[in-house]
Structure 1
Amino acid sequence: MENSAVCPVCHTEVKSTDYFCSNCGKNLKPEPPSTSLTRQIVIYLESFFLPPYGIVIGIRYLRQGDSKSKTVGIISIVLTILSLLVLIKLTFDLIDIVNSQVNNQLQNMEF
């Protein structure tokens, strides 16, 4: 078969012009993720406010071939790490505040 390829899932021979495998339905030419300005803003907001999801988004964009997608992926991961650090700091501050309030209440109680 001229201009043929092999499906990565079922190893059936497919034409190089096919978009889907005729045997298993695997998408042979997946659409790369968008790097438009509005999509970048959404990605960065998701990365900051949904930290675990930001790692997944970042890895997905890092796997792309072009440098713009890789830049979006790196920024997404950096924002995710920054968000996690802020969250950890705020959590420790809250624990300290609650701990001091409980200690003050216990000291004011008479036994």
Structure 2
Amino acid sequence: MTLHAGAPMPEQLRHWMRAKAHPARSVPCPHCGAAAHKPCRLRTRNGFKTEPHPQRISEWAKTTACCPACQVEPGIDCHDDGWARATVHARRYQEAEETAA
């Protein structure tokens, strides 16, 4: 009996199957440690969340979009008058969603 790996999935099919998932799943979750393209995990039990953690959505917006509010490039934290923010500006979320669409 010969074991072999199946054919690789075409990129169009992979995109169609992931289209229902939130685009923030493309980055690892800093809150629960879920890998990219995997759902966020619940810490209290062995379950999964249907939506990503807010920290993951913030990280996704930071890595994919420029911030119109504080004029920083993707990958750089948002700031208020030179002080780094824990989350990104709301306008950066909108920019990231427009980029993903």
> Shared fold (TM-score greater than 0.5)?
no
TM (norm. structure 1) is: 0.22
Higher helix share: 1
Bigger RCO (CA 8 Å, 6+ sep) = 2
